């Protein structure tokens, strides 16, 4: 099992943005040798500056990636897509055959999600 990786030191430090415990499906695109690798993940928590994902695939620390998140408001059947880019800043194994928790810091804040997050909390 790969070791815990953390690019920013202790992640228990004070966060820049408030985190929300929300689960959304996320599609990830990341470079893989001479191709683009597509992965699926689910958010564990989200902020306007990043997200913590659960994924079955190991993603190396410092990997640059793009993402597409499907956001659905509670009680609303319609969803909207948020697109962004970021860097993997932490990777933790969840246990044998359970996958990985992957923290992604967004290149730019996801301003479009801010009003949704505060309404959902």
Q: Confirm if 119 and 108 have CB atoms less than 8 A apart.
A: no
Confidence of residue 116 (pLDDT cuts 50, 70, 90): low
Q: Which residue has the higher pLDDT, 51 or 110?
A: 51
Question: Domains in the chain, start-ordered, CATH in brackets?
Answer: 5-9+18-120 (2.40.10.220)
Specify the pLDDT at position 41. Answer: 97
| pLDDT per residue as tens digits for the range 52-109 | 999 999 999 999 999 999 887 767 777 788 899 999 999 999 988 899 999 999 998 8
Distance, CA of 119 to CA of 59 (rounded, Å): 31
Closest CA relative to residue 84, chosen from 105, 58, 63, 114: 105
Q: Which two structure tokens, joined as six digits, stand for 12?
A: 């228990």
Q: Which pTM does this prediction carry?
A: 0.80
């Amino acid at each position: 099992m790969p070791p815990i990786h953390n690019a920013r030191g202790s992640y228990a430090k004070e966060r820049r943005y408030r985190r929300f415990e929300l689960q959304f499906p996320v599609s990830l695109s990341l470079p893989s040798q001479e191709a683009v690798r597509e992965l699926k993940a689910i958010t564990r928590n989200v902020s306007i500056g990043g997200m913590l994902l659960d994924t079955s695939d190991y993603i190396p620390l410092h990997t640059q990636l793009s993402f597409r998140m499907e956001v659905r408001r509670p009680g609303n059947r319609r969803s909207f897509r948020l697109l962004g880019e970021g860097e993997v800043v932490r990777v933790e194994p969840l246990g044998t055959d359970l996958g990985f928790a992957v923290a992604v810091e967004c290149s730019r804040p996801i301003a479009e999600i801010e009003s949704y997050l505060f309404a959902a909390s």
